[in-house]
Structure 1
Amino acid sequence: MTFASDAVVGNQNTSGRAHFVLVPLMAQGHTIPMTDMARLLAEHGAQVSFITTPVNASRMAGFINCIGAIGLPIQFVKLHFPATEFGLPDGCENVDMIKSKDLFKNFIEACAALREPLTAHLRAQIPPPSCIISDMTHWWTADIARELGTPRLTFSGASVASHLLSEPELKVIE
């Protein structure tokens, strides 16, 4: 399966390949499935920009090196994470680094502050993004997608069981 430019809704690019931008929540349970998605998209001919931060990129060094060694078209974009500007310890760039549940709101607000640098990066991208796939907690990526005229899909890492519990009208098919 190859993604051709005529099959892409939204911005077209000159290379003839779809360009997906993946924006995970910086938490292992969200990042790991998004890295799998990035690999699968790239293996099927798409270009992928994976948005991360310096600390999270260092945690994914093995994956990044592997992708580089096999030559998949995945670009890892490291954006500065404004931890201290939002009352978080310096270098607190992942949910598992938050020392108090009271700081989770600060972390989410710091994530939302990535909007401007991400928008600037995507405006300069050649080819432009064909689709943004972002974690459902990154509501602000919808604004970016609208500004760029790019479709956006949301990623939910919750299990089927949790969806069934939160949606009582869903029925299990036996």
Structure 2
Amino acid sequence: MPSIYDFTANSLAGEAVPLKRFEGQVLLIVNTASACGFTPQYHGLEALQKEYSPRGFAVLGFPCNQFGAQEPGDASQIAAFCETNYAVTFPMFAKIDVNGRNEHPLYAYLKSQKTGLLGASIKWNFTKFLIDRSGKVVGRYAPTDRPEALKKNIEALL
């Protein structure tokens, strides 16, 4: 059976990043978008990154343009937007599909481990998956779940 550490994703800079690089950390994996009503969640995600990264935590952002075409930019535009508007320091990856024929294998795996209220598919931007230090998917959170609301669950894993 695969684990989260068996996957690789490209960074916004185009570098292949094996997720094994994050082994032993608590992770929050989020599909993001720059022009979404939930985009201000970048503030909360960055706050979690700053508060918990010294304890072995990382947010991993995966831009996606599948919902309302709310992530139309290319990698350099996404990087500039995140840095300029939200001072994002957590790893951001290249734009991917999270559903359908071209979905990234990581997201196929995440969805197979934790289905949502309305089934396995991702319903919108800013769906969040919480991963424990052993790589197990332990939580799935809706776009409406604010990052700050996950603090208790994150702290329990750290």
TM-score above 0.5: no
Smaller-chain TM-score bracket? 0.3 to 0.5
In the superposition, the TM-score normalised over structure 1's length comes to: 0.39
Q: TM-score, normalised by structure 2?
A: 0.42
- Return the structure number with greater relative CO, CA threshold 8 A, min gap 6: 2
More helix by share: 1
